[in-house]
Structures are given as structure tokens and as C-alpha cells.
């Protein structure tokens, strides 16, 4: 929606139609989800939303819910489809305006609509599922596939058709409009209070800090915590980059974090520990600054979705992000998250609007837990040092090949796997390093990057020769889904 310059909000499934109208909504999308419409407690919807008075687009579960509420027939555990599929389009009006007679789409469902509701017609089918899309021909549309993911090549056109042709949107929401609105909201939220900002040096926290600084000026102090889990030379680079731009405190807390993480191998436990330690560090710095009540974080929407945040009762948790589900229940600081409803590409556009340099905006994302979730299993300083060197080699070679900007994220992972090798005519039993590089627009879905073989060969040779204890390198060719971008 946002890529089509249309403002949208995420609201709970049980919102009433009267509230939608009062807030000025011109249409609604019922999203996908992991539930079956027949499960006890499955998410429902105000039936008046589906009466045709406002445009509605149902996607996957949303289609099944629409069909069931309106009297159609949904088969629980019906004909499953997971992955790419081809649909045959029978009606080229409405959401399918401008598309061909056959289109590739991404399916991911178990339940199936067997019979559309009265007054609806089938407008697309796949080889496996005869009702892949349906409509009443006026305001209500539904598709069984996922137009919102990059694996549906013309999905953005389908969504734009719904926005412009069905809902009558004008597409006037821009980064400049977001900045103006966000600054106003931050001023209203913060009032005359003081805040500290959790600054990691990544694009999200940099944009959040710059946005809040524009709103409240010198009442914002940024705190950069060196956890000992950062990439090579990262602490020095962050201080050099942001020290002259913002009021910045540099805290070396490596010993503290590594002591808490000693012997911990479960990734969700790592994230919880790191999230708690971050907050305690910020609370202590807030007390030193004095009269600080607010903590600014660069949380973005994929973090919220994957963590099943506290304001969502039904969203499925993929993993806990340290700055969302990893926050401790008891905190002395009130959290401010100005980017909470933005995706990564939107954050970069807002950053450009704020005048943030490109080398910051296009820096590859780095998880808040850092290398703790890129060393699979328990961590120690030796493993971290080995991974730091392997990761630095990978990024150095990407930049040398002028490919750094062509991938959205690239990194090395130190696995717990050991394998037999031969180095210097001697048998070795060394560690295995995995390389991961992905292409994506929004980080909700991603595809593995097709890097040149000669580049991978150089990286592999350098890692094996320059990183002690490593004798094997592999390349991860998994997409998201079914994998996630990070390994833990």
C-alpha cells in the first residue's frame, strides 16, 4: 500500500465498521494468517464490513473468512498449495485489470474455498484449486494467493488496482508527508520531557534518532552500546560517524553482555537476555543524564510482525526481536518508536528526506542481538573473533566487486558443524562457515542472491586461509519463506 503512495494503518481484526468509517477509511484488506476459519478462537470480522458498503480485499485466510461469513463453502485441510503456482484469469476487470490470461503467483494455504458465496463469481483458478479468486463484481474481491510478496511478480499491480480502481485512492502519501506527521506526533507524545535514543549505527536507529532530534532538539541524547557482539571495527565507525552529528554517549559493555550470555545456546533466550541488558544499560545512562523518561528505538514493522508484539493478540510469532518481544516487562522508561509502522524501504526513503548520507542509508541491516545470533549455539570471544574476521572478508570482497549495493543483506554465520579437511598435508577437523546474501524490498520475503562463482571462490579461499580453525565454507540458497534471513 505504502509503495503505491497510499497511507494505510494496521488495525485489529475485531474493529467495527463504525470505527472504520469514523476514522475515514476508504477500504479494508483482510490479511492472510496461520489459522483455519474452523479453529476455536480463529480471528473473525465484523460482518457489516463485508456487506458491500466499503471495498474489501480478502487475501488467503481473508478470502476464506469472507467466503464463510457470507455463506460460501470453505474446506478445512482442503487442496494444499505451497509455493509458486499459475492461475488462469477469467475476468480482467477490477483487481486483474491489465494482467494476462495466465499469471504466476505465490500460494501458501491449507484450507480452500470450494464454493463462493451467493452473488460472487470465480475470476481465477489454478490447476489445484478451482476458486483462486472471486468477486461480487463491485466492491468485494478475494484472492487465495499472496499478491503482497515478491514471489507474485505482478502482485503490486493487483494491489494498485484495488487501491485506485476499487477504492478510489489518489496516491498522495509521501516520505515528506510522513516526516511532517511524525514530527508533530513526537512533539505531542514527548511534550517537554527528555529522551535517550538507542543508537546502533544502522539505518533504522539513525533515522529514528534524526527524526526525534528534529522534533525535540537537544532534549535527545543518543546512547551507543558496544555489546562485544558487533562487526569488525563497527564501534569505531559508529562513533566517528555519529559523534559529530548527534549528542552521543559511547558505552563499552562487552564484558557485561558476554558474561550474561555465557553457555546460552537457545536463540530466543539469547534475544531475551540481550533485550533486557540493553534496557538496563539505557536506564543507567538515563539516570546519569538526568530527568529522562523516554527511550527512543528504531523498531520497524517487520520486527513487530515477526515478534508478535504486545498489541497483537493473534499474529503468529516467527522469532522475538530484542527490541520488541525481548523487552523486559518492568521498565522505568517509556518507549517511543517513530518508525514502528514502516518497512525497511520506507525507512530509507524517510532518511533521504531527512538528509541522512547514503552510506548510512544503504548500510546492510544488522540484527540488534548482533553476532550472538550469527554464532549458532553458545558463544565465546574466540568464536566471535573468528566470525568477525570471516564476515569482514565477505563484505570486503562484495565491495571490491561493486556488489554490496546489489544485495539487501550479506553476512557470515559460524555454525556448530565441524568437518574433516586437509590443510598443509595434515588432516584437520575444523569449523564450517555459512555465507548468506539475500535480495529483498521489504525484508518480509527474500530470495537468495545469485552471486558470481568467482566471488564466492575468492571469499571461501580467503576465509579458509585467514580464519584459524575454519576449513569449509558453504553458501545458503534458501529463500524467505520457508527460511528466515537470519539463522537464529
**Catalytic site residues?**
60, 146, 148
3 state DSSP class of 438: strand
Collapsed DSSP state (helix, strand, coil) of residue 84: strand
**Strand (E) or helix (H) holding 74:** strand 73-75
The full 3-state SS of 232-253, as one line of letters, equals CCHHHHHHHHHCCCCCEEEEEC
Single out the residue of 50, 67, 60 nearest to residue 115, CA to CA: 67
The angle that helices 254-261 and 267-289 make with each other, rounded to 10 degrees, is: 150
Strand 140-143 versus strand 56-59 pairing type: parallel
Using CA atoms, how far apart are residues 92 and 101, in angstroms rounded to an integer? 8
Nearest to 433 by CA among 417, 450, 446, 422: 417
Q: How much of the chain is in helix, strand and coil states, percent to nearest 5?
A: 35, 20, 40
Instruction: Give the rounded distance of the alpha carbon of 284 from its chain centre.
Output: 30
Residue pair 56/28 in contact (Cβ under 8 Å)? The answer is yes
Which three cell numbers mark 386? 573468528
Cα 264 from Cα 286, distance rounded (Å): 29
Q: Return the closest-CA partner of residue 276 out of 236, 231, 331.
A: 331
φ, ψ at 223 (rounded to 5°): -125, 120
Per the DSSP assignment, residues forming a β-bridge with 28 are 56
Strand intervals (E) in 357-425: 409-423
Q: Do the beta carbons of residue 307 and residue 319 sit within 8 Å? A: yes
Q: Which residues sit opposite 56 in a β-bridge?
A: 28, 140
**Half-sphere exposure for 233 (CA within 13 Å, toward CB):** 9
**Cα 468 to Cα 204, 246, 471, distances in angstroms:** 34, 39, 8
Other residues' Cβ atoms within 10 Å of the Cβ of residue 109: 21
Q: What's the CA gap between 128 and 361, in Å, rounded?
A: 43
Cβ contact 112:27 at 8 Å:
no
Amino acid at each position: 500500500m505504502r509503495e503505491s503512495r497510499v497511507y494505510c494503518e494496521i488495525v485489529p481484526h475485531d474493529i467495527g465498521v463504525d470505527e472504520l468509517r469514523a476514522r475515514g477509511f476508504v477500504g479494508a484488506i483482510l490479511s492472510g494468517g496461520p489459522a483455519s476459519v474452523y479453529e476455536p478462537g480463529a480471528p473473525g470480522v465484523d460482518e457489516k464490513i463485508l456487506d458491500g458498503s466499503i471495498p474489501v480485499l480478502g487475501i488467503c485466510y481473508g478470502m476464506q473468512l469472507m467466503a464463510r461469513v457470507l455463506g460460501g463453502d470453505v474446506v478445512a485441510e482442503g487442496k494444499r498449495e505451497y509455493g509458486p503456482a499459475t492461475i488462469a484469469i477469467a475476468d480482467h476487470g477490477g483487481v486483474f485489470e491489465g494482467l494476462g490470461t495466465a499469471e504466476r503467483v505465490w500460494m501458501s494455504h491449507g484450507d480452500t474455498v470450494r464454493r463462493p458465496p451467493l452473488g460472487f463469481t470465480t475470476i481465477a483458478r489454478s490447476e489445484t484449486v478451482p476458486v483462486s479468486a472471486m468477486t461480487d463484481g463491485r466492491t468485494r474481491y478475494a484472492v487465495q494467493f499472496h499478491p503482497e510478496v515478491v514471489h507474485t511478480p505482478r502482485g503490486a499491480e493487483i494491489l494498485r488496482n484495488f487501491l485506485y480502481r476499487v477504492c478510489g485512492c489518489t496516491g498522495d502519501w509521501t516520505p515528506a508527508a510522513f516526516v511532517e506527521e511524525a514530527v508533530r506526533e513526537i512533539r505531542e507524545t514527548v511534550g517537554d520531557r527528555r529522551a535517550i535514543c538507542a543508537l546502533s549505527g544502522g539505518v533504522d536507529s539513525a533515522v529514528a534518532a534524526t527524526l526525534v532530534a528534529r522534533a525535540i532538539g537537544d532534549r535527545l541524547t543518543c546512547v551507543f552500546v558496544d555489546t562485544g557482539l558487533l562487526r569488525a571495527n563497527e564501534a569505531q565507525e559508529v562513533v566517528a560517524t555519529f559523534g559529530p552529528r548527534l549528542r552521543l554517549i559511547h558505552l563499552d559493555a562487552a564484558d557485561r553482555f558476554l558474561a550474561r550470555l555465557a553457555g546460552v545456546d537457545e536463540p530466543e533466550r539469547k534475544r531475551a537476555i540481550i533485550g533486557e541488558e540493553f534496557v538496563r544499560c539505557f536506564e543507567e545512562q538515563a539516570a546519569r543524564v538526568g530527568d529522562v523518561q523516554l527511550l527512543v528505538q528504531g523498531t520497524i514493522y517487520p520486527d513487530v510482525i515477526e515478534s508478535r508484539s504486545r498489541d497483537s493478540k493473534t499474529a503468529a510469532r516467527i522469532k522475538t526481536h530484542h527490541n520488541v518481544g525481548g523487552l523486559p516487562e518492568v521498565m522505568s522508561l517509556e518507549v517511543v518508536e517513530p518508525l514502528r509502522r514502516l518497512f525497511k524501504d520506507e525507512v530509507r526513503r524517510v532518511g533521504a528526506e531527512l538528509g541522512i548520507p547514503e552510506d548510512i542509508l544503504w548500510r546492510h541491516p544488522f540484527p540488534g542481538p548482533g553476532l550472538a545470533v550469527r554464532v549458532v549455539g553458545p558463544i565465546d570471544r574466540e568464536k566471535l573473533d573468528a566470525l568477525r574476521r570471516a564476515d569482514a572478508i565477505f563484505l570486503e570482497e562484495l565491495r571490491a566487486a561493486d556488489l554490496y549495493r546489489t544485495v539487501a543483506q550479506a553476512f557470515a554465520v559460524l555454525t556448530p558443524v565441524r568437518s574433516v579437511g586437509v590443510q598443509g598435508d595434515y588432516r584437520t577437523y575444523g569449523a564450517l562457515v555459512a555465507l548468506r546474501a539475500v535480495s529483498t524490498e521489504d525484508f518480509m520475503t527474500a530470495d537468495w542472491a545469485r552471486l558470481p562463482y568467482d566471488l564466492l571462490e575468492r571469499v571461501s579461499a580467503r576465509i579458509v586461509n585467514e580464519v584459524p580453525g575454519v576449513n569449509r565454507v558453504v553458501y545458503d540458497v534458501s529463500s524467505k519463506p520457508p527460511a528466515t534471513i537470519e539463522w537464529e
